[in-house]
Structure 1
Amino acid sequence: MKNVVVTGPPRADPATASALGEFGVATVHEAQGRTGYLGPDLRPAWSGARIGGTAVTALCWPGDNLMIHVAVEQCQEGDVLVVATNSPSTDGLFGELFATALARRGVRGVVLGTGVRDVAELREMGFPAWSTAVSAQGTVKATAGAVNVPITLGGQTIHPGDVVVADDDGVVCVPRDDATAVLAASRARAEKEERNRTAFRAGELGLDVYGMRDRLAGFGIEYVTYEEFAKGDR
C-alpha cells in the first residue's frame, strides 16, 4: 500500500446514511442479505449509541496513530472514522482528545480494529466508539500509512464513502452504491417486523406467523404424548 492521503472521495448521501443508522445493525445486515457485518469482536466503548455515517478510512501501523492525526483533517460532518492496522494491535490508538477534535468537525463516531482508551471520558462526552480492545497502552507517531483507501476489518472491505452503521450489536458496512436500495429493504423489513410484533402481542406463535408449522414433519419432528414417550414408543 502506498503512503497516500486520498482527498475528496465520493460519499453516500448523508441523509441515507443517517436513516440506515436509525434502523440499526441487525436490520441493515439482514436487509442486505446478511452481508457486511464486521463480526462480534467490535464492541462499543459504552452502550446505547447508534450511528449511521459515511466512512473515512485510515490504515495505521500497530501502536502508531500518526495516520489518525492525518485522517482528522479529511473528516467532515456526518462521517465515521474507520481505522485498521496492517497487523494485529490492541494498543489504545484513540482517546478523548481525538474524540474532541472529531466532534468539533461533526463526525458521528469511530470504528477501530485496535484499542480505545479514555472510555469514561468518551461516555461522558457522548462520543460513540467501537473497538476490538480497551487498552491504556499509549502509542507513537512515527510511521506513515494511508487515508481514504480500502481497508479490511472483520473480513469486510470498507471503502471511503461507504455507509457505516453501528450500535450495541456491532458494526455493519453498506457499499456506497447500494445504500439507497439497502435503505428501502431495511424499511420494508422493519415494517414486516412491526406486523410480526403486533401478532406476537396478540398471542400468535412464531410457528404460525412464520409459516413453519406445516414444515415440521419434513424436519422429522413428531408430536407424541407423555405416556407414549415414557413407554419408549417414540
Structure 2
Amino acid sequence: MSRVVVGTPRTDPEIVAGFAGIGVATVHEAQGRTGLLHPRLRPIYRPAHVAGTALTCEVAPGDNWMLHVAVEQARPGDVLVVTPTSSCTDGYFGELLATSMRAHGVVGLVIDAGVRDTAELTEMRFPVWSAAVSAQGTVKETVGNVQTPIVCGGAHVHPGDLVVADGDGVVIVARTRAADVLAAARQREENEDGKRQRLAAGELGLDIYGMRDKLADRGLTYEEYSE
C-alpha cells in the first residue's frame, strides 16, 4: 500500500542553521563516518552547499507522479530526497518542478536517479545532487510513498532527518542525533583551524599527528643517499 505520512517531525531549524557552513566531510567524520550517500550522487553545479530537513519520496522507475504529491507536504527548509524502487536514470525533475518546490520552501534536491533542465536549474541556483542527467522524460501512472523511511544512495533516510550536501557529496544525520553531531562537528572544525595554522607555518603533518613512531613500528627507515 502506498502512503503519504503527514505531520512528520523535523530537525530543529536552529540546529539545521548551525550546519550551514559545515562541509559534508566534516559532518561525516564527526558522526563516526556514517550516513554518507554513494558518490554517484553528484552536484549538477559547483559551488553548492545545502543543509535542510529530509522530505522523502519513493517513486516507481520512470514515473515522477509522487514528486508532485510531495510538494504538498513540503515545508520551508526541506530538501527533497528521492529514490526509485529500482535503478533508473530517467529525468524525473526539471525546471518546472524546481519552481514549484521553491515556492513551497524546498531548498534543494537529492535524487538517486536522473534530472534534466540542468542549465535552467543552474541559472535558478536550485541545488541538485543526482545520479544522472538525462533528457528522458517520465510518466505519471504509479503511486509510491511520501514521508516514509527510504534508502537513498545506500543510506537510510527518515523524514525530518538532517541532509547536508556540498561538492564532496551528501550525508544524512538522524534527527535524534543532529544536536550531538553539530557539537562534534564544531569541535572538529576548531581543531582543524589550529592544525591549519601550524601547517601553514611549515610544520609537518608527521609531527603534528605524531606519526613518526608508528611509521617506525611499521618498518619505515631512512637512509642517506649513496652512489
If the length of structure 2 is used for normalisation, what is the TM-score? 0.98
Structure 1 unaligned blocks of 5 or more: none
Per the alignment, residue 208 of structure 1 pairs with 207
Cα offset for 1:216? 1.4
Q: Kindly provide the amino acid, as one letter, of the partner of residue 216 in structure 1.
A: L
- Alpha-carbon deviation of 1:41? 0.6
Residue 136 of structure 1: aligned partner = 135
SS at match of 1:82: strand
Indicate if the aligned counterparts of 1:7 and 1:148 stay in contact, CA closer than 8 A: yes
Per the alignment, residue 36 of structure 2 pairs with 37
| Structure 1 segments (4+ residues) deviating >6 Å | none
Which amino acid in 2 is paired with 1:196? K
Deviation at 1:103, TM superposition (A): 1.0
Amino acid at match of 1:208: D
Whole-angstrom CA distance in 1 between matches of 2:73 and 2:105: 12
Amino acid at match of 1:155: G
Alpha carbons 1:91, 1:135 under 8 Å: kept? yes
**Per-residue Cα deviation, 1:96-135 (whole angstroms, up to 9, x for no partner):** 1111011111211000010011100011011000000000
Q: How many residues align?
A: 227
Q: Which residue does the alignment assign to 1:116? A: 115
State the 1:44 CA deviation. Answer: 0.3
Report the RMSD for the aligned CA atoms in angstroms.
Answer: 0.9
Counterpart Cα distance in 2 of 1:44 and 1:12: 23
* Residue 187 of structure 1, CA deviation: 0.1
TM-score under structure 1 normalisation?
Answer: 0.95
Q: Distance between the aligned counterparts of 1:31 and 1:196, measured in 2? A: 17
Unpaired runs of 5+ residues, structure 2, are none
Question: C-alpha distance in 2, partners of 1:38/1:99?
Answer: 22
Q: Contact 1:21 / 1:166 at 8 angstroms: preserved in 2?
A: no
Query: What is the match of residue 198 of structure 2?
Result: 199
1:1-234 map, 5 Å: 2-227=1-226
State the identity %: 58
One-letter amino acid of the counterpart of residue 185, structure 1: A
Q: SS of the residue aligned with 1:161?
A: coil
SS in 1 for 2:45: coil
Post-superposition Cα deviations, 1:36-88, rounded to whole Å, max 9, x if no partner, equal: 00021100011111010000100000100000000011011011000000000
Give the letter for the 2:175 counterpart: R
